[in-house]
Amino acid sequence: MKQRTVEDKRTIYILIILIASGLLLILVNNIEYVRVYKNLMVRVMFPSSRLVMYPLDKIDRACRESGKLLSLYSENKRLKKEIESLNLEYKDIDYLKAENASLKETMRIRQYYNADLIPATIISHYPEEYFASFNISKGKKDGVGKDMPVIGVIGTKWVLLGRIDEVYDDFSRVILITASNFRCAAELSDGSLGVVKGNNEWIIKMEYISPNANISKGDEVYTSGTGGIFPSGLFIGRVSDSDTLKFSIAKEAYIEADYYPQNSKYVYVLKK
Amino acid sequence: MIRIPLLLITGFIAQLVIFNYLSPSGLGINFTLLIAIQIALIRGSYTGELFGFFSGLIEDIFSLGVIGERALVRALIGFLAGRFKGKFAVQNIFFQIFLVFFIFAFYNISIYFIRAIFYYSPFPLKRILLISALNSIIAPLVYHLVKKASAR
C-alpha cells in the first residue's frame, strides 16, 4: 500500500515535470533563439523524415503514373499506327511528286525538240567507270538506239550526259560526256564554236575555239547541234579556265560539268 | 524495458509511413496516440505519461508545428488513461471504443485550446467527432497489438 503511494507520488511528480516541460516548450516556441534551434532540429530531422517517406512517395507516384502510362500506352499505340499510315501516304506523295516533275520535264523537252523521250533509270554505275559510262534500264525493246543523246534535268535546264554506246534488249550502256572517247560539237555563250572532249575527270576540254572568241570564267557551254548526233541547246557546263595554245591559233577552254550522274536516278534518252 | 522505446519508434515510423499516408481529407488514424493510450491501459500511468510525452514530442518535432503541444496533452492523457489500469474491463471492446472516443475528443479539444490560447492556427473543431469515431473503431485492434508487443 505504502509502495503504491510512493509510486503514485512519483507518477504525479513526473507528470508535473512533463506538463511543465510541455508548457515551457509551447511558451518558448516563438523565442528567437529557440526558433534557430528548432530550425536546426528540423534541418536534421526533416531529411530523415523525407528519407522514410521516400519509398512510399515513390510507390504512390508509381501507382498514379502507371494509370497515366496505361492511357499513354494505348494513345501511343494509336498514334504510332496513324504515323505509319501517314508515312506511307507521304512516301506515295513524294513518289508521285517526283514522277509528276519527271513527266512534266519529259513533256517540255518533247515539245521543244519535237522528239520522243524515253525515261530510264540508271541501273549501274561502276566505280571503275566513274567518268566513263553507266548503264540504263531501257534497251532495244523500248526503242533505244545507238548514239542517241542521254540527257538529265537540273532545275529547268536540260543537261547533256552522254550518248548511247551499246544497246541490248532490255538495257543500254551510256558513254558519259567526261569519258576520254567522247566528242561533241559545242557552243559558248558568245556564239563561238568548238569541240568538247572528255578527259576522264569532271573538267572537260573544249578545243578548236576561234582565236577571236571572248572566253571568260563562268560562261555557259551548250551543244551547238552541228554533227547531227546532239540537238542544239543542251547544257554542258561552265567555263572554269581558258588557254591559248602556243603552236596553234585556236583557243581551248576547260569546262566544269554541272551534272553528277551519281546523284541522279532518272535520265532520258532523246529518240531521234 | 527496451520494448517500450522500440514500440515508440516503430509506432512513430508506422504513423509517418502508413497512417499519415492513409488519411483521406485529413481524417487520419493517430496511431501513436492509440499506442500511448493502450500502453497506459496496460502498464499504468507512469509508463503511459512518459510514453505519451515522448511520442508527442517526436511528432511535434517532425510536424514542424508547435513544439510541446502534443507532448503536453499526451502526457496528461497517458496519466489519465493509466488510472484505468486494473480498474475496468480494459479488454472489453466496447469499453475500448468508448474510452478512446472520449480521449480523442479530449485530445483534439485540448490541442484546439492550446493553439487558441497561444495564438497558433487552431485545429478544425468540426472534424473532432469523425476523427474520434474513426480512431475508436480500431482501438481494440491496437490494444491487442500493443499487448503482444509489450508483453514482458
C-beta of residue A238 within 8 angstroms of C-beta of residue A122: no
The minimum CA-CA distance between B53 and chain A, rounded to whole Å, is 7
More confident residue, A251 or B26: A251
The minimum CA-CA distance between A66 and chain B, rounded to whole Å, is 19
Chain A partners within 8 Å of B82 (Cβ):
11
Average pLDDT rounded to a whole number, residues A107-112: 72
B75 → closest Cβ in A7, A22, A56: A22
Share above pLDDT 90 across residues of chain A, in percent, rounded to a whole number: 16
Number of alpha carbons in the 13 Å side-chain half-sphere of residue A256: 8
Asked whether residue B65 is assigned to any structural domain, the reply reads yes
- What's the pLDDT tens digit per position in A186-203? 999 888 899 998 887 888
More confident residue, A137 or A39: A137
Asked whether residue B107 is assigned to any structural domain, the reply reads yes
**Best of A13, A23, A26 to disrupt the B interface by mutation (most B CBs within 10 Å)?**
A26
- What's the pLDDT tens digit per position in A77-103? 999 999 999 999 999 999 898 878 777
Asked whether residue B102 is assigned to any structural domain, the reply reads yes
**Predicted local confidence at residue A2, as pLDDT:** 60
**Predicted local confidence at residue B22, as pLDDT:** 67
Asked whether residue B22 is assigned to any structural domain, the reply reads no
Residue A217 phi, psi (nearest 5)? -65, 135
- What's the pLDDT tens digit per position in B82-131? 888 877 677 788 888 888 999 999 998 888 888 778 766 666 666 788 88
The DSSP call for residue A228 is: S
Q: Which range, of A88-97, A203-212, B55-64, B130-139, averages the lowest pLDDT?
A: B55-64
More confident residue, A20 or B125: A20
Task: Indicate whether B152 pLDDT > 60.
Answer: no
CATH of the domain at B77: 1.10.1760
Our count of domains for chain B comes to 1
Asked whether residue B139 is assigned to any structural domain, the reply reads yes
Average pLDDT rounded to a whole number, residues A106-123: 78
Q: Identify the CA nearest to A223 among candidates A233, A213, A214, A215.
A: A233
Angle between helices B31-43 and B128-149 (to 10 degrees): 50
Q: Which range, of A159-163, B17-21, B132-136, averages the lowest pLDDT?
A: B17-21
Chain B partners within 8 Å of A3 (Cβ):
none
Chain B partners within 8 Å of A45 (Cβ):
61-62
**Predicted local confidence at residue B121, as pLDDT:** 62
**Predicted local confidence at residue B85, as pLDDT:** 83
Subunit contact B72:A14, Cβ cutoff 8 A: no
- List the domain range (segments joined by +) for residue B140: 3-17+28-149
**Predicted local confidence at residue A262, as pLDDT:** 62
pLDDT bracket for residue B73 (50, 70, 90): very high
Highest mean pLDDT among A25-29, A31-35, A174-178, B126-130: A174-178
Average pLDDT rounded to a whole number, residues A136-162: 87
B71 → closest Cβ in A7, A25, A53: A25
| Grid cell at residue B8 | 515508440
- What's the pLDDT tens digit per position in B31-51? 889 999 988 988 888 999 999
**Predicted local confidence at residue B103, as pLDDT:** 92
Subunit contact B13:A14, Cβ cutoff 8 A: no
Closest alpha carbon within chain A to B57: A22
**Predicted local confidence at residue A243, as pLDDT:** 78
Q: Looking up cell 519529259, which residue turns up?
A: A106
Asked whether residue B23 is assigned to any structural domain, the reply reads no
Subunit contact A18:B67, Cβ cutoff 8 A: no
**Predicted local confidence at residue A216, as pLDDT:** 86
More confident residue, A246 or B4: B4
Interface size between A and B, measured as CB pairs under 8 A: 79
Asked whether residue B47 is assigned to any structural domain, the reply reads yes
Subunit contact B67:A38, Cβ cutoff 8 A: yes
Q: Which range, of A236-240, A243-247, B65-69, averages the lowest pLDDT?
A: A243-247
Chain A partners within 8 Å of B18 (Cβ):
56
A197 Cβ contact list (under 8 Å, min separation 6): A180, A182, A183, A204, A205, A206, A207
Asked whether residue B97 is assigned to any structural domain, the reply reads yes
Gyration radius from chain B CA atoms: 14
**Predicted local confidence at residue A52, as pLDDT:** 64
Share above pLDDT 70 across residues of chain A, in percent, rounded to a whole number: 85
Closest alpha carbon within chain A to B71: A22
**Predicted local confidence at residue A246, as pLDDT:** 67
